[in-house]
Amino acid sequence: MHTETAFAKINLALHVRARLPNGYHELETIFAFLQSGDTLMVTASDEISLEIFGLFGEELSNTNNLVLDAAQLMRPLAKTGCGAALSLQKYLPIASGIGGGSADAAATMRLLNRFWGINLPEASLMELAAPLGADVPACISSKTCRATGIGHDMEPIEDDSLDGSWVVLVNPLVQISTAQVFGAWDGVDRGALANGPLKKTILSGRNDLQDVAISFAPEIAEILELLEESDALFSRMSGSGATCFALFNSKLAAQNMIQELRANFPGFWTMMDTLK
């Protein structure tokens, strides 16, 4: 059995600059990725199929899923008659702002690229992935990068000052529609994302969707208040929510934060990992 990790994504900053006529938004963001996430597996088959397991597996369809869309996108590039029995272990919450569906689609493409012997280079996979969603090309590479436009125009970030930092994630298990949050954005351009050293850029940045998401899920504000009281390097909401994160210099500090979150918010989903 062949496997591939769908690395969890966080937006270290997210500046929404304009609403475009086609319904997308012009934005500036910094993507970063954790070492773990969901897991994709594949075995040989005559057809393309999908089984879903894991903590959040029951919430997803195994017939209407980005994983299958990604597989169908790859299939014409494979030898005639290629199929794939895909399995998804779903560990990340649904509609949570950490790229779950996009990361799953990207992992499917990386996995089938090897399994079917297509062997496209990463840049070609990223270009092919664009129709699947704004975050999917970034999730193909799963490397820290700065993205502009609708998220497809990416520039790798060579600054490794945050590599290996400990990350704490927390989600109130309230699903928030990305389209709903972007739709409720007030349209005000609050300025560009700075250039310069990564830490300085992030600290001066923001998430323009944070206040909007709080209006749909007030629990986000409570989470952020607790995270901001800690000794984290910084904390923020990721994407369109509702997952929030905090970065720490040490494993012990991250463990202490996890314990405090679980004590204050029993029943919320939490995760601890390091940045890639």
Predicted confidence (pLDDT) per residue in 12-46, tens digit: 999 999 999 998 999 999 999 999 999 999 999 99
Count, residues in the chain: 276
Question: Is 9 labeled as catalytic in the residue annotation?
Answer: yes
246 is in an annotated binding site: no
User: Would 57 be classed as within a structural domain?
Assistant: yes
Considering the domain architecture, whether residues 12 and 85 belong to the same structural domain is answered as yes
Number of domains in the chain: 2
Picking from 111, 133, 156, the residue at the C-terminal end of a domain is: 156
Judge contact between 181 and 217, C-beta under 8 A. Answer: no
Query: Could you count the other beta carbons within 10 Å of the beta carbon of residue 156?
Result: 10
Say whether both 23 and 149 belong to one domain.
yes
Residue 94 marked ligand-binding: yes
Please report whether residue 161 resides in a domain.
Answer: no
Where in the sequence is the domain holding 197, given as residue range(s)?
166-274
Write down the pLDDT at residue 241: 96
Q: What's the pLDDT tens digit per position in 125-154?
A: 999 999 999 899 999 999 999 999 999 899
Catalytic residue list contains 143: no
Q: What is the pLDDT of residues 223-261, one digit of tens each?
A: 999 999 999 999 999 999 999 999 999 999 999 999 999
Catalytic entry in 38, 104, 135, 208: 135
Of 185, 164, 158, 160, the C-alpha closest to 241 is 185
Q: Does residue 23 share a domain with residue 139?
A: yes
What is residue 252's predicted lDDT score, i.e. its pLDDT?
A: 98
CA distances 140 to 2, 60, 143, 249, Å, are 17, 21, 9, 27
Catalytic entry in 9, 38, 104, 208: 9
Question: Annotated binding residue at 101?
Answer: yes
Is residue 100 part of an annotated ligand binding site? Answer: yes
What's 29's domain CATH number? 3.30.230.10
Same domain, 177 and 104: no
94 and 216 co-located in one domain: no
Same domain? 100 vs 181: no
Provide the sign of the torsion angle of the four alpha carbons 130, 137, 20, 179, taken in this order: positive
CA dist 73 and 128 (Å) reads 8
